[in-house]
Amino acid sequence: MARQRADVEADVRAQAERAAAGEELPLLGRLVAVKDNIDVAGLPTTAGCPGVAWTPAADATAVARLRAAGAVVLGKTNLDQFATGLVGTRSPYGAVRSADHPDRISGGSSSGSAVAVALGIVDLALGTDTAGSNRVPAALQGIVGVKPTPGLVPTTGVLPACRSLDCVGMFARSLPLAALAVGLMAGPDGVDALAARPVPADVAAPAPDAPVLAVPRADDLAALDPLWRSAFDATVASLHAVGWTLREVDLTPFLGAARLLYDGAFVAERYAAVGALVDAAPEGLDPVVARIITAAGALPAHRYAADLVTLAELRVVAEAELAGADALLLPTTTHHPTLSEVAAEPVAVNSRLGTYTNFCNLFGYAAVAVPVDAGVPGERVGVSVLTRGSADGAALDLAGRLLAVAGPRAWEVLDGAPGSAAADGAAAVGGLAAGASAGATRAARAARAADPVRA
């Protein structure tokens, strides 16, 4: 859904006038696409379901902050309906196809946003991520996907999928640019109660100079297609060759938590978020999405309570596995399905794609998805760097260092060429730090405006 040309041009002129007047606009000249479950003032929000569309009067907090930094919104993008899916095909507006392979899926649910970046239509695109929706499409499209720690970026103005787990994230072809945008969006807005904590002072802290990176055992990689397995193994070998300290861990508790997201009672949050909309049988309701959300409404509260305890127990075991490690390196997803494969098994394929992503928000982690050398021309494969909550800077730092040694073909659609590992990691951390600093300045100004006497 593109905005009118005249409206976009008017925004460009307005941002240029702000810059000419002396305002510091770190995103001046950057075009942004917005996933259509995130509000943009004056544009309909459909969440992929035309029968529930509304036109908001105000921007979502994330959108408003990007615009305040000089960005211009070009339009809104298609998605898996109600952000329910990792495939990009569950929409009455049509399936979003992969930028490089039109017979394959884009990945979802932030499908249109990822493809808009991959095709070079925009510099940045907003997505949301509950189970992997800012990471799986990034991997399949060969771009960067940054999913911050839950609660770092307010979700005000976002239609929830699972309210307690939802994150607003960013796609880009440049890791430092994506990090800058995330930093600019970070911080409390006084509305989102799940994002009320001030940005931690060390959120942009880099990883140690000699980090320890946890990697999965061979047995934990059985879900991967051969191409994705060989690419992941090659990435690990490349890191080992340049001196990284790698330590194998048992993914059993992580994968157990991942299964809880949909096979357990946490999916009930989806009914809490949009169940009333689905029950009204609106125009354009996707049958697969409808079945998932309707079934979620029948889950008993005692199962949810039991799963909370199970999750806490799994997290204790997982943290013990990660003891002494600075981050966890995983394949972002398992394979790149065709549209026909998803049509034949829509739930099974979707579930497999989330094998290595579904647990992340349940554990409160940050994650950065980046492309790596697939070893086959024209193919896109990705890995993700995961860190504990509020260690976003370390995740970005390690992802930047990884990109520098992952092979030049990984950079085919990215802005620029690989530099040194230290330089690429530092640039990503610097972007987050600069954005967070600008956000802190914004918050201080808001506080002074709200209470000029105390200020």
Distance, CA of 85 to CA of 108 (rounded, Å): 6
Residue 381: φ, ψ to 5°: -135, 145
**Catalytic pick among 111, 113, 133, 384:** 133
To the query of whether residue 147 is one of the catalytic residues in this protein, the response is no
**Catalytic pick among 98, 109, 113, 384:** 109
To the query of whether residue 420 is one of the catalytic residues in this protein, the response is no
Name the residues annotated as catalytic.
35, 109, 133
